[in-house]
Amino acid sequence: MSKTSNGMRQSQLFTKTRREAPADEVAKNAQLLVRAGYIHKEMAGVYDFLPLGLLVLNKIIGIIREEMNAIGGEEVFLSTLQDPAVWKKSGRWNDEVVDIWFKTQLKNNSELGLGNTHEEALTALMTEHISSYKDLPRYVYQFQNKFRNETRAKSGIMRSREFIMKDLYSFSKNSTQHLEFYEKAAVAYENIFRRVGIGDTTYRTFASGGSFSTYSHEFQTVCDAGEDIIYIDEAKRIAVNKEVYDDPDVYAATGITKENLKEAKAAEVGNIFTLGTRFSEALGLSFKDAEGKATPVFMGSYGIGPARVMGTIVELMSDDKGLVWPAAVAPFAVHLVSLGKDGDEIEKAADALYADLVQAGVEVLYDDRDLRAGEKFAESDLLGIPMRIVVGKDAAATGAFEVVDRATGTVAKKSREEILAA
């Protein structure tokens, strides 16, 4: 792949677009991403990220990383291979307790797991680094491949069997210190979803705490492809998951009433849990307080799937022509489309503008291929890059370039100076 720090010539991009989606792919997000050459489907629930798709995924990861660092997160990278002994201490090695394990064997016949989450592994690790109240609080996170043996995998990259998860774990002295961070994490999540372009349709949602606590909070994005039903109070921007809709304690805690709620389908794009001392007690993670008394560390868990976020963006923002990326996560800011041929004035004008854009630090994909204009425009729409700049006869003759906004379809004529100043 021939790529500068900001630019890429499309003639050097190995991936190809497709007119039709794979016959076995039912999810809109995967259909469009496969057609546009962003991902490749290996098998049901397993996808590869190709150059353009990886650029988008890494933009999303970068935004998440910035927000986690801003609230004191420390990034690590833990092993995917899991020691059964650690999980047996918490009781979660048992397939009847956790039914999504992928397990494998070493050549000596000892058993290992492929991590589906990392509470146990990180709690065990932190026993070597936390011993005193002076060591707390700590907030440790990672972007790590997770493996889940899902019964069904038909939502494209929104529900897959192998995926990257950002999981952060908080280690606090007590519930008060924990809740202070919990609220900071919730705000950071709201920032993330706003920055990637889905903040207006994403709601902090009361949900069951499962085996960890009475309640958790999910971040649910209203989406026809979603698998959950939520009930939204638009004025307070709070939602309730269907699973706790009839629990009166939820309404007492939130101050909302059923009469003000609107039902919607939604996709879960993140969640935050209070774990308490369940894992710290099981794995021996404690600290000595100021009086020297040993106390279990109070924990929380905070997850976001970057690919799930990416798939949700596609479900919400694509149109009948293809993808439509928000600027913050688009693989490139500009799709420069030349209608010239080798050595003509149009190509020279396009080459010059490409060099200017790269020099100015603009991320640009340059379609320098020898194809018909209609093919180039259709492919440009499919790729979904926010701005298309067309270099044709008028541009070569007058220096006025056609600039197309992908989201709105509006067309403007702009000079080189206006483009570089934008």
CATH 3.40.50.800 intervals, the chain:
332-421
CB atoms within 10 A of CB 246: 10
Q: Write phi, then psi, for 382 (nearest 5 degrees).
A: -65, -40
Q: Write phi, then psi, for 165 (nearest 5 degrees).
A: -125, 135
Mean predicted lDDT score pLDDT of the chain: 94
Tokens found for residue 160: 């897959």
Q: Which of 157, 167, 145 is nearest to 270 (CA)?
A: 167
Q: Which of 17-21, 174-178, 273-277 has the lowest mean pLDDT?
A: 17-21
Angle at alpha carbon of residue 363, lines to 315 and 75, rounded to 5°: 70
What confidence score (pLDDT) does residue 422 get? Answer: 81
Q: Which of 378, 388, 406 is nearest to 19 (CA)?
A: 378
For residue 285, pLDDT over 50 is answered with yes
For residue 79, pLDDT over 80 is answered with yes
Report the share of the chain in percent with pLDDT over 90: 89
**Residues pairing with 266 in the sheet:** 222, 228
pLDDT digits (tens, 9 = 90+) for 246-266: 999 889 888 999 999 999 999
Domain at 13-317: CATH code = 3.30.930.10
What confidence score (pLDDT) does residue 420 get? Answer: 94
- Which CATH superfamily is 332-421 part of? Anticodon-binding domain (3.40.50.800)
How would you label 330-350 residue by residue, b for 16+ Cβ within 10 Å and e otherwise? bbbbbbbbbbbeeeeebbebb
What confidence score (pLDDT) does residue 5 get? Answer: 67
Block residue for tokens 């929104």 = 158
For residue 2, pLDDT over 50 is answered with no
The Cα 304–Cα 91 span in angstroms is 24
Q: How far is CA 33 from CA 29, 61, 82, 156, in A?
A: 6, 18, 32, 9
Contacts with 226 (C-beta within 8 Å, 6 or more apart), sequence order: 220, 265, 266, 267, 268
Q: Which of 274, 338, 267 is nearest to 309 (CA)?
A: 267
For residues 383 and 151, the model is more confident at 383
CATH 3.30.930.10 intervals, the chain:
13-317
Residue type, 22: P
Q: Write phi, then psi, for 69 (nearest 5 degrees).
A: -65, -35
Residue 232: left (phi > 0), alpha (psi -120 to 50), or beta? Answer: beta
Angle at alpha carbon of residue 382, lines to 381 and 386, rounded to 5°: 55
Tokens found for residue 249: 């304690």
Rounded to an integer, the average pLDDT of 17-28 is: 89
Rounded to an integer, the average pLDDT of 139-158 is: 90
Confidence of residue 210 (pLDDT cuts 50, 70, 90): low
Confidence of residue 220 (pLDDT cuts 50, 70, 90): very high
For residues 327 and 24, the model is more confident at 327
pLDDT digits (tens, 9 = 90+) for 156-192: 999 899 999 999 999 999 999 999 999 999 999 999 9
What confidence score (pLDDT) does residue 212 get? Answer: 58
What confidence score (pLDDT) does residue 213 get? Answer: 66
Contacts with 408 (C-beta within 8 Å, 6 or more apart), sequence order: none
For residue 4, pLDDT over 90 is answered with no
Angle of helix 51-70 versus helix 306-317 axis, rounded to 10: 110
Rounded to an integer, the average pLDDT of 119-139 is: 98
Calculated CA dihedral for residues 55, 57, 59, 60, nearest 10 degrees: 170
Q: Which of 362, 373, 340 is nearest to 421 (CA)?
A: 362
Rounded to an integer, the average pLDDT of 133-146 is: 97
For residue 153, pLDDT over 80 is answered with no
pLDDT digits (tens, 9 = 90+) for 330-383: 999 999 999 999 889 999 999 999 999 999 999 999 999 999 999 999 999 999
Cα torsion 69, 72, 77, 82: sign:
negative
Confidence of residue 1 (pLDDT cuts 50, 70, 90): very low
Are 323 and 383 spatial neighbours (Cβ–Cβ below 8 Å)?
yes
What confidence score (pLDDT) does residue 211 get? Answer: 56
pTM equals: 0.95
CB atoms within 10 A of CB 76: 14
Confidence of residue 16 (pLDDT cuts 50, 70, 90): very high
For residue 300, pLDDT over 70 is answered with yes
